[in-house]
Amino acid sequence: MSVQLLWGFLVAHPIKLINLLALLLTCPGGLLLHNARRREALARQRLAMQEGPLQGVDRRVPRYYYSLGFACLAMALLLSWLSTWT
């Protein structure tokens, strides 16, 4: 596939390009949220087994992952809505 053909497709269908960008933002956001849930479950399991107190890092990391994951998903949703308005 030549570069001119690819560029012509992107110019002819800009809405698909915006949706592709939204999809590319959704994947890392979902992975961050999944990883936050997994870390939180491991922290609860560690606390239940009384292996030691939770450090501040163990409590801060899931909150950071949640905020970054939800920000990625919100930006993807806004981009998707933007593509429907054009």
Cα separation, 1 vs 66, in Å, equals 40
Over its length of 86 residues, how does the chain's per-residue pLDDT go in tens digits? 577 877 787 777 788 888 888 899 899 999 999 998 888 888 778 777 766 565 655 566 678 888 999 999 999 999 989 888 86
pLDDT at 12: 79
pLDDT computed for residue 26 by the predictor:
93
Rounded Cα distance, 13 and 86, in Å: 11
3-state secondary structure of 49: coil
- The two tokens of residue 34 are 């999944």
| The predicted structure's pLDDT at residue 70 | 93
Comparing CA positions, the residue from 33, 37, 38 lying closest to residue 73 is 33
Q: Residue 86 has what pLDDT?
A: 61
Contact 30, 69 (CB under 8 A): yes
